Amino acid sequence: MSSPVATPPSPPSPPSTSAKGAEPVRVQRSLVARVLARPEIGALAAAIAIFVFFFAVAPPFRTAEALSTVLYASSTIGIVAVGVALLMIGGEFDLSSGVAVTTSALASAMISYQFSLNVWVGVLVSLLISLAIGFVNGYLLVRTKLPSFLITLSTFFVLQGLNLGVTKLVTGTVATTNVSDLDGFASAKAIFAADIPLGFMNIKMSVLWWLLFVLFATWLLLRTRTGNWIFASGGNQDSARAVGVPVAKVKIGLFMGVGLMAWFLGQHLLFNFSTVQAGLGVGNEFIYIIAAVVGGALLTGGYGSAIGSALGAFIFGMTTQGIVYAGWDPNWFKTFLGAMLLLAVLVNLYVKNYASTRK
């Protein structure tokens, strides 16, 4: 043991002499305790239960084709839900994500068509627009310190109006013109919306992208400094800021992440259907948020997972399709959504208390 020069000649006695003798014992928490503390565990249980349920009651649900449809429906929820989950872990949420998807698709379609450009130009310009929407949400949030509810609610209405208003001004209708004849359509469709034959079933490209985004987000959250900062910004932003975490940058980045995911889904929808309805997307923001919450994200931030959001999206993908396969009225989906949200919030509250009580 070397003392620094400035230390007085006799080094002070260690603070807790009693503890010095008894080496603190490290105990691994039991496997059960560690598994139960994972944020996505509730969603996993629910996903299995719902899968088994529809498997039992709806014979058409048992086919590979149905699984492909379910996965596709899940991916259209899950792609944005990943971004929303990260944002919620960072302590904020975004009500504008649903219409932002439509904004990105409309911008891409109209820019390419009106200027007779290669569709990739529209794709890139709409990327900038989507990131800009995310940036504005985040920048307004950190500057005004208003709740994200108010700021993104404003963005939601602004975009909803813009989507319809601008589309009507430009095309005269509430839908974009078909873009399938434009240059670059085939390559864009291959990237964003191709069908991949697996022999026994076809998988949409969006499913693969979705899984890739989930894996990347999981790695980002758990294995990088950025992930640490996201958890800290949501868990206790004053603490985080005090130890040098750039909370404002993290939050702006997270909103831009949601923008990026909304852009991706928007491009997928555009190249999958070749045309976009301007009124689409309203209400989807809640489905993304609920998928993230069902996946274990706390509404107050600081806790959650990307895999959980995927499980949440899978639950809703299964339910929307399962209700149809079972031959029931699809309107029941919304009731299910509400019940799941309430249940998930209660489970999350329990898990949070379990994880943060003294043991």
Partner 1 sequence: MTDTIADHAAPDLQVGSPLVEMENVGKSYGAISALEGINLTVNAGEVTCVLGDNGAGKSTLIKIISGLHSHTEGTLKVDGADCRFGSPRESLDHGIATVYQDLAVVALMEVWRNFFLGSEIRKGNYPLAPLDIKGMREIADAELKKMGIHVKDINQPIGTLSGGQRQCVAIARAVYFGARVLILDEPTAALGVKQSGVVLKYTAAARDAGLGVVFITHNPHHAYMVGDHFIILKLGRRVLDKKRSEVSLEELTTEMAGGQELAELSHELKR
Assess 7 for contact with partner 1 (CB under 8 A): yes
Q: Whose Cβ is closer to partner 1: residue 29's or residue 143's?
A: 29
Q: Which of 280, 285, 288 is nearest to 102 (CA)?
A: 280
Instruction: Give the sign of the dihedral formed by CA 330, CA 273, CA 170, CA 102.
Output: positive
**Residue from 119, 193, 245, 261 that binds partner 1 (CB under 8 A)?**
245
Q: Whose Cβ is closer to partner 1: residue 109's or residue 260's?
A: 260
Assess 9 for contact with partner 1 (CB under 8 A): no
Assess 38 for contact with partner 1 (CB under 8 A): no
Min separation Cβ 142 and partner 1, Å: 13
The site string for partner 1 over 286-325 (x = CB under 8 A, - otherwise) reads ----------------xx----------------------
**Residue from 54, 61, 231, 325 that binds partner 1 (CB under 8 A)?**
231
Assess 29 for contact with partner 1 (CB under 8 A): yes
Spatial distance between the Cα atoms of 81 and 84, rounded to a whole number of angstroms: 5
**Residue from 57, 128, 224, 283 that binds partner 1 (CB under 8 A)?**
224
Min separation Cβ 115 and partner 1, Å: 34
* Range 321-328, long-range pairs (CB < 8 A, 24+ positions): 321/61, 321/66, 321/69, 321/70, 321/73, 322/50, 322/53, 322/54, 322/58, 322/61, 322/70, 325/54, 325/58, 325/59, 325/60, 325/61, 325/66, 326/54, 326/57, 326/58, 326/61, 327/58
Assess 197 for contact with partner 1 (CB under 8 A): no
Spatial distance between the Cα atoms of 142 and 251, rounded to a whole number of angstroms: 8
Asked if residue 291 lies in contact with residue 78, where contact means CB atoms within 8 angstroms, the answer is yes
Assess 225 for contact with partner 1 (CB under 8 A): yes
Assess 235 for contact with partner 1 (CB under 8 A): yes
Spatial distance between the Cα atoms of 264 and 256, rounded to a whole number of angstroms: 12
Only segment of 21-29, 57-65, 145-153, 262-270 that touches partner 1 (CB under 8 A): 21-29
> Which residues lie below 8 Å from residue 297, measured CB to CB, with a gap of 6+?
39, 85, 88, 89, 303, 304, 305, 308, 309, 348
Assess 26 for contact with partner 1 (CB under 8 A): yes
**Footprint of partner 1 (CB under 8 A):** 1-8, 11-16, 18-20, 23-29, 34, 37, 220, 223-226, 228, 231-232, 235-236, 238-246, 302-303, 352, 355-359
